[in-house]
Every structure is written in structure tokens, then in C-alpha cells.
Chains A and B, each alone.
Chain A
């Protein structure tokens, strides 16, 4: 079985078989920066596979930092220290010997600002598979088309794949970035406020997309938009000052939170 077959098998798995993406187990995670010794304190979360989990909280509470632990993007910051463990399936994410390059293929990420690379639409989507060693044009064509179809962008861009990605609208750029992330067939998709720089219509399309994707991917989304969390997520974690205040089914959090702080935040009393 070669790379192409693997990719196709993976997408077939997701489409036809009862494939469920693995979940993430966070146990006793603490994280310190030189500037901020208590960035995250003793986080325990069990993120189920194949569902959408939202992380909410006031700005500076550590929700983005938590998200970046899942694909070890915090490594790029100087002086960052972890303790505790995060496991994805059978992989210990925080193990120093874990190959972060491989990890990042299993855990894709979408950022707040659409960040298409300065190259064509096609090359953007083909980027991940290419650095993974996929070279044959026909295979790449197929992977690119599948990813763009999955990201609901294919019909809009199929005639202009050779155009520079920067000419797309912001909403399209963000869906392109999602297509780029799923082109490498990750298991987990991290989204860091994916709609915060978009207009309402584009936001709606992203939310629809998240709903479409959640069957094949475990999705963790950070958002400051309460309604969005309520609309798209199955479970919600509320973070405050580096600690998990409450983590439960979304319905429960939004209708009947067990903590006073959660209720204050959701009803807009602070944050």
C-alpha cells in the first residue's frame, strides 16, 4: 500500500466505515512561561473523539495556550515548561521523545487569522501531502479535490486553482486553510477562534463546515463567542485564570451551569 492508497483508504474509512477519531486525555497539565508562571494549572480534561469540544473563557485565561499544547506549538516559545500528560490514542503528546512533526500531522490546526501561504490555491492544499512525500500529480489532484470538497470550497475555486491564494475573500481563505489542514488526514482539528476575523455569513459557513467535519475528526475549538460555542459544540470547557472551572455537555453549561463563575461569564457579567 502506498501513500496514495493510504490517503484514500483513510478518507474511505471515514466516509463509509464506522470510523471514530481518537479522543484526547489531559491529565494534570500545568504550563509555565518565564513571564507567566501560572499559564495553565492542573488541567484535567477528557475530550471525546468524533465530537466538537469548545473552550471558552475571558481573554488571557489560557485557552489558546491549552489548544497549542495539543500540537506542541508552545515549543516555539522560549522558556516554556510542561508537566502532566496529554495522550492522543496511544501517543503521549508531551513526551520529549515524541516526534512533533509526526504529531502535527495527526493534529491539524486552524488559526484566528486566515494564513494562506503566498502560493497558488492548489499548492496551498497540496503543501501538507507534498512535504509528506506525495509527489505524483494525479494523486495530489485527487487529494486536493477531496480536501476542497470537504471544506465546501471546491465549487467556488475549481476554475482558478492556479491563482494566488491571497486573492480569495477572508471567508474563503479560512476555508482554504481548513482544506489545507484536512488534506493531510489528521485525526484532530484544533481551531483557534476560526471565525473571529470573518463576517457573519462567512462565520455561518465555517460553523456549517465544523458540523459536517465532526463525524470524521475530533474538533477542539477556542472561541470567545458564546453563541457560537452553543451552536457548534457538543461539550464545553470554561477556563478562567489557567484553570478549568467547569467542563460538561454544552447544553448543561449553557442552561444550568453548576458554577457561579460560569454563569456570570455566560450571562456576560464579566469577560
Chain B
């Protein structure tokens, strides 16, 4: 009896194996989604801090409270400057001194190679003691002086050390100034508000303009310096502590710090020390990975430091220390959608037209020969398509754009004419509805037509665009790049049209022929039968095919990487480059620090892409199922 038992056990174990594996695969699929959500979640959480021990002996440091003046590295700057400011980028040293005229600025250029040095001096009115900030901008081309009274002055620094007094203006009076990393904006500390001002250049002239006001709400007691990740801690008169992330309109109130703090200061980008009135100072650390990026910062226009006006910018990695990260996902979404839509415009006419012809007009035997052939393109690696187009076609395309446009535009017209003639011919020999394909007749015709189109395009360029389309477009306000949306869309269309064709053809072919036959037997033309009887049934299937094609286009990566230029822009122009979500993931994810803000935002991008394709796919599937359901009723 042991044999049956063994067999039974075998059966049981295999069934278990199958079930468990399937469940695991199911969980893995679910896990893909959940994992992304988990990684992305900290982006939107309110920051909070965890205590890291109290430093009892340091209670005396309470004397730190009070407002301070800092330079851009956070080190306190003596107001009466005697130590020179070094400008490493310009090979210069600046020092300030009180002189008879007011303030004199002395620049000293030291050329290490020649070993000589030259001194220049600029005098300006003002009181050295009333200065609240002396700094240069990020490029070290402007020296900025801000006075307590709110007056400021920009001084242009030339390469040879020459100084020239530039724009001056006035800001609100304040007690002190905080530098924001990146030396493009500063925070003026007044009695009870913080005013962020930024250095903006318009037509080569810089000026200092208000950027935003950090509304503290309660009275201001103490402000920390700005951390490298652009956060500052504000202690209010009521003793509570606010954490401000520059760029976010609202502060996070750190309730866990208690309500009798007197000051808070950064020890490291995530650690800080809080001093209290009654208890010893304590150290805290911000919770890991929690960055607190608001949705507004990712999807709405943001006014960035040094920029003319609010806009959408994607520049997540600092070009230099303290550079403000620009995290708008809008350019990536626009780039992705723009190219996918252009791709659809190219793909739909060919794909759906061919689907109707192959699925409806062509006899079954011909269909079985042609369909797999067209579907072969779907299996081409897109990297190959994009690579060859990028290396070979793109340069030629820009050289002879009008000729090619002419040829492309004339193709449908001419082919319709050719087919019209062919369609007339077989009718005379007693056939309707079936068209013979005669490649040997068509190919020379095609060549002729293409040449005619090219000549036509060339003429059109001469006449309409005054000799050169590529010169004409930019002069009419449309900048042209070699790797542009039109090119990406064209190649994307080539990559997605077999997908649309295959599914749409299936939808048309699956409609029982008997309906169209009945209509033809009533004297309707084949097209009328198609339009009245086949199309209403097949339409959802065709729409679903187009949607799936769109989904494919949105998620395509290699074509975007190689042909889009990868420059994030938020315009809808067809002649400019773009950057897609998928290409951004491929380029930036391998270099992003695991668990950092950039990493999380990239995962948010991946999640968006995932959800976008998931929604498109689900809608398409539902539509298809409606088709199948209809087919069943008919049978």
C-alpha cells in the first residue's frame, strides 16, 4: 500500500508547489506597486525629529541666543571686515576698510603663475558698522553689500580686479541677514518676520528683489543658520520650534521639542541642538529620509532663486554645493506625453488604415502572409531603431527636412491615387471587395512619387520659406534643435504602430463576416458595410488598441534616450528637444543616493509612469472585454 500513498503525496506536494509559486508571483506583482509607494511615501510626510540625548554640560551655551550675522558658510562674519574675502574662482581677494569717504573696497589680484599682484580700490559712501552682509554671488562677479537700513549695493568685479559700482536699491530694514547656500538668495531677519530676497539678472543687470516672506506667525526669538539642505529652525517667542524648508510655503512645527525652547542650531544637515529655559540643551535628529516635498513643488510653477518668474524646472542634482534643487515633474510629464502624442499622430493613420485593409478587405490567405510580416517590427529592439536613426537618419533629416516632409506629405495622396486606379481595374473584370497587390507595379510608382514629393518640398522651401526652412523657423520664434520632438515622435510612431495595427486588426477581423456579407447582399459597397456593420462592433477594440499603443509609447525608453536630446523643457513646441520620465529614470537612478530625496522623487516618477500605463491598460482591457461580450451576444 506504500505505492499509492507515495503517489498521493507526490500529487499533493506538486499541487502545493504550484499554488505557493503562483501566490508568490501574485505577491511579487503586488509588491512592485507597494514597494514604490513605500519608497515614495516619505516625500510627503511631515518632517519630525527624534531625540539623540541631552548635553547637560552645555547648558551655558544658552548665550548663543540672539540674532547673528553669518557668511555663506555659516561662520560668523565680523562686521568690521578686516579679514579679506577670497574669491577662488576669480583669483582675487577683497577687503573692506573704513575710509574718509565712507567705505573703501580694495581688490587684490594675485596671479600665481606670474607672481605679480595688483591692487584696485573703490570708495563709496556708507558706514562699515551699519553693514549687515558682505558677500559675492555664486559666480563671484558681483559683490553685494547690504546695510541694516535696508539699502543695498551691487558692485561689479572685473577679471583684472577692477571694481565698478552698480545697481543700488532698498530692502526692508532688518536686524541681520542669513545667507542661503548657493549665494543666490538671502534672508533678512526683521523684528518678527523673515524676508527672502534673491539676486535676479535682467538684461545682464542684477538686482535684489523679494522672493517670499516666511510668515512666522508668532514673534521671532531666534533663527538658526540655513542648513545645506536649505532648512532653517525658527524659535518663536512662545517657545515652540518651527522647521522651514525653503520653497515650502508652510513650516513644520516640531511639537516633540517642547514649548520652552530658546534657540535651535544645526550641528549637521540632519542633527540640531535645542536650548531650553529650564532644562539642559538637547540634541535631536530629523527622521531618516523624510524630506517633506510638497505636491505643489512637484506639479505647480515654482519661483526659483535667481529666476525671472515662476516656472517648471527639473534640475534635481546640485551643479555646485548648496544649489537649489529644482524638482518639478511637469517637464518630464510634458516631454513624455508630447512625444507619445506625436507618435500617435504618425502611427494611427498607418496602423488603423492597414488594420482595416488587412482585417477587412484582404482575403484570409493574404492576411496570413502580411500580418506576421508587419508584426515583425514589434520585435525589433528599439535601441537598434533609435541608434541607426540617431546616427544616420537624424543628420540627413535636418539637412533635407523640406524634401522629406514633401515626400511624406505626398505619399498618402499619391498612394490613394494609385490604389484608386488599381481598384478600378479589377472591377472591370468582375471583382469587387478583393484587391490584388501588385508590388512590381507599385514600387516604381512609389519611387516616382517620392521623388516628385522631394522636388515639391524643395520648391516649397524656396517659395514659402525663403530658401531654408531651418533658417525660417527660428526667425519666426520657433527654435529648432536637431534632436527634436518631431523626430522622437516619428520614430516612436514607427515603434508603436505594429502594436496598434496588430490589436486593431484583430478587433476588426474578429467581427463575424456574416454581418458585412448581409449588408453587401443588400447592395451596399464594402466600405459602407464596414462603416455600418463592422465598425460599430470593432470600434471599442480599435480605440483600445490605440490606447495600448499610447501606453507603449509613454513607457518606451531607448528611443527617448537616444533621440530626444534629454533636455527637460516644459513647452509643447515640436521643434525643441524633450526629456521623458523613462529616460530620466534610466539616466539618473543609477547615480542617485539610495534613500535620498532625489532617489525618492525618481521613484515617484516611476510610480507615475506605472500608474499612467496601468490606468491606460486597464481601460483598454475593459473596452476589449466589451467587444468580446458583444461578440458573444451576437453568436
Contact = CB atoms under 8 A, between A and B. Distances in A.
Report whether chain A binds chain B: yes
Interface of A: 71-73, 75-78, 82, 94, 96-97, 100-105, 108-109, 111, 113, 115, 117-119, 127-128, 131-132, 166, 177, 180-181, 184
A75 B432 contact: yes
B434 A78 contact: yes
A96 to B, nearest CB: 4
Contacts of B366: 78
A73 B523 contact: no
Given A78-B434, A118-B537, A108 B515 contact: no
A79 B404 CA distance: 39
Contact of A73 (B521, B537, B633): B521
B522 A127 contact: yes
Contacts of A113: 514
Contact of A76 (B365, B520, B522): B520
B211 interface: no
Interface of B: 363, 365-366, 428-434, 512, 514-515, 517-525, 528, 532-533, 536-537, 630, 633-634
Contacts of B528: 131
Contact of A104 (B429, B523, B533, B536): B523
A78 B582 CA distance: 47
A102 B432 CA distance: 13
Given A76-B433, A77-B363, A127-B532, A117 B523 contact: no
Contacts of A131: 522-524, 528
A113 B635 CA distance: 9
A117 B519 contact: yes
Nearest to B363: A78
Max chain A Cβ within 10 angstroms of own Cβ: one of B515, B521, B633: B521
A170 B525 CA distance: 27
B424 to A, nearest CB: 13
14 contacts: A71-B521, A73-B517, A75-B432, A75-B433, A75-B434, A96-B428, A111-B518, A113-B514, A115-B518, A118-B533, A119-B532, A131-B522, A180-B522, A184-B522
Contacts of B363: 77-78
Contact of B533 (A71, A82, A117, A166): A117
Nearest to A68: B521
A118 B634 contact: yes
Contacts of B520: 73, 76, 104
* Residue with the highest number of chain A CB atoms closer than 10 Å, among B433, B514, B518: B518
B489 to A, nearest CB: 35
Nearest to A103: B523
B428 A97 contact: yes
A105 B533 CA distance: 18
Given A115-B515, A118-B537, A75 B430 contact: yes
Contacts of B365: 78
A181 B524 CA distance: 12
B20 to A, nearest CB: 45
B523 A177 contact: no
A118 B630 contact: yes
Which of A94, A96, A184 has the most CB atoms of chain B within a 10 A radius of its CB? Answer: A96
A196 to B, nearest CB: 14
B306 to A, nearest CB: 62
Given A75-B433, A128-B523, A117 B634 contact: no
Shortest beta-carbon contacts, A-B, top 6:
A96-B430, A104-B523, A109-B521, A78-B363, A105-B523, A115-B518
B428 A102 contact: no
A30 to B, nearest CB: 15
B522 A128 contact: yes
Nearest to B435: A78
B523 A101 contact: yes
Contacts of A184: 522-523
Contacts of A177: 518
Given A75-B433, A127-B519, 8 more contacts: A76-B433, A97-B428, A101-B525, A104-B520, A115-B512, A117-B533, A127-B532, A128-B522
A82 B371 CA distance: 30
A49 to B, nearest CB: 20
A103 B430 CA distance: 13
A96 B519 contact: no
A184 B523 CA distance: 9
Nearest to A177: B518
B521 A108 contact: yes
A192 to B, nearest CB: 10
A117 B519 CA distance: 8
B514 A111 contact: yes
A223 to B, nearest CB: 18
Contacts of B515: 115, 117-118
Contacts of A111: 514, 517-518, 521
A108 B630 CA distance: 27
Nearest to A95: B430
B357 to A, nearest CB: 15
A118 B533 CA distance: 7
A83 to B, nearest CB: 12
A132 to B, nearest CB: 7
Contacts of A96: 428-430
Contacts of B525: 101
A108 B430 contact: no
Contact of B532 (A78, A101, A102, A117): A117
A7 to B, nearest CB: 14
A128 B630 CA distance: 24
Contacts of B432: 75-76, 100
Nearest to A112: B514
Contacts of A77: 363, 434
Q: Which of A71, A115, A131 has the most chain B CB atoms inside 10 A of its CB?
A: A115
A239 to B, nearest CB: 21
Nearest to B434: A78
A102 B523 CA distance: 6
B382 to A, nearest CB: 36
Nearest to A34: B365
B438 to A, nearest CB: 14
A181 B633 CA distance: 23
Contacts of B532: 117, 119, 127
Contacts of A78: 363, 365-366, 434
Contact of B634 (A101, A166, A180): A166
A100 B428 CA distance: 11
Contacts of B519: 117, 127
B428 A119 contact: no
A173 B188 CA distance: 84
A71 B432 CA distance: 13
A71 B519 CA distance: 13
Most buried by B among A73, A111, A131: A131
B192 to A, nearest CB: 73
A94 B429 CA distance: 10
Which of the listed residues A72, A76, A127 has the most CB atoms from chain B within 10 Å of its own CB?
A76
Nearest to B526: A76
A119 B514 contact: no
A180 B521 CA distance: 11
Contacts of A104: 520-523
B524 A118 contact: no
A168 B402 CA distance: 58
Contacts of A102: 523
Contacts of B512: 115
A166 B428 contact: no
Nearest to B365: A78
A76 B518 CA distance: 13
A105 B525 CA distance: 12
Contacts of B633: 166
A85 to B, nearest CB: 13
Nearest to A102: B523
Contacts of B634: 118, 166
